[in-house]
Amino acid sequence: MENYYSRRSFLKTSALATAGAAWSAYRLPSFTPQPPVQHLGLQLWSVREDLNKDAAGTVEALAKMGYREVESFGYDNGRMFGMPFMEFAGLLKKNGISMPSSHYKFALKDYDEGKKMLSDAAKKAIDDAAAAGQKYIVNPWVDEPERPQIDKLIPVFRAAGEYAQKAGIRLGYHNHDFEFEKRGPDNRLLIEWLLHEIDPKIMAMEMDIYWVSFVRNNPLDWFRLYPGRWELCHVKDMAKTEKRETIEVGDGSIDFAGIFKQSKLAGLRYYIIELEHYKTTPMEGVERARKNFQKIKW
């Protein structure tokens, strides 16, 4: 495995990331403002209860709002939202919606270290994602007991990334807050393990801008340190409250305009709206978030 960064470079990187790198510590060069994004979607976790009650009606309503892409979740042995996975993909297509990415959790149980093989269940998830025309299958979470074993998880992600590449799609990794706080066996942050130990040719990064900001890191620092690695992002805002819960894009404290001006540096192509807390209803919230996103000047 190629070593992308020297130990000295790693230590410098760690110090900057751990410090949270103050928002105004430096100024990146500006790029020419780009036209409206080509790929604006919705993480379906935002409207999960609506989907479980009435998948067809919810998908139709999202299409009427103007959503043309979604990121799914909840794949379980060929099924999603109570129907066969390909049937759900067909429902989206019928409503003019594509599904460039989905979330699927790869865990230690999905890899046989002795045989160096991915589990049949994990292979099926990747194969189905490819058959549905997805571009990415994204790991969304690491269970708490497995986080200290990041060194053992790396081979799992490598195997998944290699299998996905052969299937014609890309593995991705979606962060929460813990990757920027918890450390592995050699004291590197978990996010550094992921960025350093897995070849970018087989795994893209999906930055959740809210969670990076929640742990008081600056997304721009990570763009600068690892340019071109962040192909997807989750877009949800942070409320100006003590709890700093999620809120509709444009109604909180995150400077999306400043962040997205550096999309070229980051490598960003897919922007995925998400909402986890609601002032109104989930459906009203994701509609407002989409409208607000379109008002961002960058």
| Helix (H), strand (E), coil (C) string for 29-92 | CCCCCCCCCCEEEEEHHHHHHHHHHCHHHHHHHHHHHCCCEEEECCCECCEECCEEHHHHHHHH
Tokens (6 digits) for 251: 């109604």
Q: Which regions of the chain are under pLDDT 70?
A: 1-35
Q: Which residues are CB-contacts of 231 (< 8 A; sequence separation ≥ 6)?
A: 136, 170, 172, 204, 205, 206, 267, 268, 269, 270
Provide the 3-class DSSP secondary structure of residue 138.
strand
Per-residue pLDDT of 218-258, as tens digits, reads 999 999 999 999 999 999 999 999 999 999 999 999 999 99
Query: What share of the chain in percent tops pLDDT 70?
Result: 88
Tokens (6 digits) for 68: 């043309």
- pLDDT value at position 197? 98
CA dihedral 228, 233, 238, 243 (to 10 degrees): -100
**Amino acid identity, residue 86?**
M
- pLDDT value at position 82? 92
- pLDDT value at position 238? 98
Q: Hey, what domains does the chain have and what are their CATH numbers?
A: 37-293 (3.20.20.150)
- pLDDT value at position 239? 98
- pLDDT value at position 146? 98
